[in-house]
Chain A
Amino acid sequence: MAKIEVVNVTKRFGKFTALKNINLEIKDNEFFVLFGPAGAGKTTLLNNVAGIQIPEEGLIRFNGEIMNRIDPAHRNVAMVFENYALYPNLTVYENIASPLRSPLYKKDNATINREVHRVAELLRIDHLLERLPSQISNGQKQRVAIGRALVRDPNVFLMDEPLAHLDAKLRHYMRSELKEMQSSFNTTCIYVTHDFLEAVSLGDRIAIINEGSIIQVGTREEVYYTPCNEFVAALVGEPEINLVDGRLFVDNGKYYVETLEKGYLLPLPESSGIVRKLVDSEVTEYHIGFRPNNIKYTFEKKDGLIRGTVYSFESIGNKAVLIAKVGEKYIRMIAPNDLKVKLDQAVYVELPIHKAIFFDAQTTNFIGTSDEAAIYRLVQEQLSKGVQ
């Protein structure tokens, strides 16, 4: 168990700068997720914490102690690799036992036996202990790799896209199982992923990282309801958030945004404080984000709704995504799985202005949200943290 600090870390590979002045503070016992697209530098950061790579600039601290010059073996970290990295010539049992046989963390045989069986039971692989890695499935290999880390009592538990190579079905299942096991980890975890669902399901806090820089660090609610810019908004959420152009419009002391079509006005909700935020920002051109699950639609003409045509209708498991073409804009919405709909038929869309996220059209930075429930929840969260 340890508090991990990453201070002003810069890592270069030749002329390429993989990490640019990264600062992070990961609390003791926290499950911390590094989330970002491929090539963002997530794995590099993890390798720097593990000691597999050493930063050119900056410090890595465990519980305040500088780790830069300590080799991986002596950092007491456990790591799960994307490609599992099991020892192909050793049985599952020996793979899991490997850390306990190393000169540094050596335990007697009875302890090893007990620990390996404890971990194997937790991971439901106790029937595979005598097999070789080549004789088990990918999902099982993944469990063995996790087992090799769980068998120890490390400062920090590092996981590098552990589910990325599994097929969709298994990945969802393993994610739920990992969530179930989380409470038995009992140590600080840093988890790298490019999958939004893994990030929000598992992370106590999420750091969003892109092109070697940290974009935002926050809880699931913070990054989902108050993303610091459009990049984060697009990354967090599935299907992707809809971003439409909008302009502030004032009439008779009432505030509106004009969006999608000229003259299509949405009244800004007074109580949410969004009006104040928009006015204070002195920005009048916005990109307004609407989450697909908040958008309502109907197939009958109704006042105040904007007309579009059905561009596509796709089932995504237990629900479906309906895409409406409004002018040149495509609006994604969640619909029930069994909706009867024809392509190109008319659809009327209601943009939920009371659940909108506003970004500066120029800088793409976050200005404010009109979602009162979200704001309330965030405040509650802050308060409960204060109480703790």
Chain B
Amino acid sequence: MKRKRIVSNAVKNGLLALYALFALFPLFWMVLISFKSDAQMFNTTFIFNPTLENYDAVLLRTDYFKYFIDSIIVSVIAVLISVLAGVPAAYALARYDFKKKENLAFTILSFRFAPEILVVLPLFMIYQKIGLYDTYFGLIWVYQLITMPLLIWVIRGYFEDISVEIEHAAQVDGYSWWQVFLKRLLPLIKPGLVSASLLAFIFAWNNFTFPLMLSGTYVETITVASLKYIASDTVHYGQMAVAATVSALPAVIFALLIQKHLVRGLSFGAVKG
């Protein structure tokens, strides 16, 4: 019995290690080449002279930080707006009965169905006409397509899981509606709110199509900026790798921080007492 278990555990762990290697290798490769000079890019694999010249070039000698800050401004504000508008919307969808409720809910979700490339051309024309092209507000606005549906659908599930009697109980206890919402409901949806917001942030951060088409000179996000290292004559893989590595950092750090939260938060029913 015992021996069998040891063997099966070994096999399991071996397979998992293999998968980890498979999944993490591209990341590892990217980090690796960010330390390679252009000269050694193609004639070395693991053994080379590591250099910081790519980092120096990207971080200190270009506007990389500006792009980084742009990305943060656009993504964070987009998520904030989605939270402010999405949480009440989710509450309404969960609690009130009104005509065409499910149609509305589905419409919101359907924003996520259409490929971005489909809407981005008309949006480009419209944005140019009304002056939203290449503005922070324009990008934040269009990012709602990404962040809002996610938030509404996750938070709605959370509200539905809270029995309406809990709200009634709190009202009877002597709390006004707003106090009930802030003091009793918000703590209960917090896990969902945190995980959905962070996920929305990561999606917004990683978005490429919208900033590529709807901005470019005044506002530029880091995903688009990474393209700058394709020069007319050569591709600076090393510098691109640096840009990509640094731009991936927030997402990776967040994902690690909230890992536990994320799995628990996104599976409904977590608040049932």
A interface, CB within 8 angstroms of B: 47, 50-52, 71-73, 76-79, 81-83, 85-89, 98-99, 102-105, 132-134, 148
By CB atoms of chain A within 10 A, which of B173, B184, B271 has the most? B173
Question: Taking CB as reference atom, which chain B residue is nearest A135?
Answer: B273
Closest B residue by C-beta to A77: B172
| Chain A minimum-CB-distance residue to B270 | A88
Which residue, of B169, B184, B272, B273, has the highest number of chain A Cβ atoms within 10 A? B169
Shortest beta-carbon distance from B267 to chain A in Å: 16
Contact B169–A85 (Cβ < 8 Å) = yes
Contact B165 A102 (CB under 8 A): no
10 further interface pairs, Cβ-Cβ under 8 Å (given A50-B168, A77-B172, A82-B165):
A52-B171, A52-B172, A73-B171, A81-B165, A83-B165, A85-B166, A87-B273, A99-B174, A105-B174, A148-B173
Q: Is B170 an interface residue (CB 8 A)?
A: yes
Interface residues of B in 163-201 (CB under 8 A from A): 163, 165-166, 168-177, 179, 184, 187-188
Q: Are B176 and A88 in contact (CB under 8 A)?
A: no
**Cβ contacts under 8 Å, B166 to chain A:** 85-87
Q: How far does the Cβ of B5 sit from chain A's closest Cβ, in whole Å? A: 32
Residue from A51, A73, A86, A105 in contact with B273 in the complex, judged by beta carbons closer than 8 Å: A86
Q: Which residue of A lies closest to B184 (CB)?
A: A87
Name the CB-closest residue of B to A106.
B174
Contacts of B170 in A (CB 8 A): 87, 98
Can you give 8 A-B contacts (C-beta < 8 A)?
Answer: A50-B168, A72-B172, A73-B172, A73-B173, A83-B163, A88-B188, A89-B271, A103-B174
| Contact between chains at A102 and B174 (CB < 8 Å) | yes
**Given contacts A81-B165, A87-B166, A88-B272, is CB(A50)–CB(B175) below 8 Å?**
no
Cα–Cα distance between A50 and B163 once the two chains are bound (Å): 17
What are the 8 A-B residue pairs with the smallest beta carbon separation, nearest first? Answer: A88-B273, A102-B174, A104-B174, A85-B165, A72-B171, A99-B173, A85-B169, A81-B165
The answer on a CB contact under 8 Å between A78 and B176 is no
When chains A and B are docked, how far (Å) is the Cα of A79 from the Cα of B174? 11
Q: Given contacts A73-B175, A104-B174, A134-B273, are A81 and B188 in contact (CB under 8 A)?
A: no
Inter-chain contact A72/B273, CB cutoff 8 Å: no
**Candidates B163, B177, B179, B188; contact of A85 at CB < 8 Å:** B163
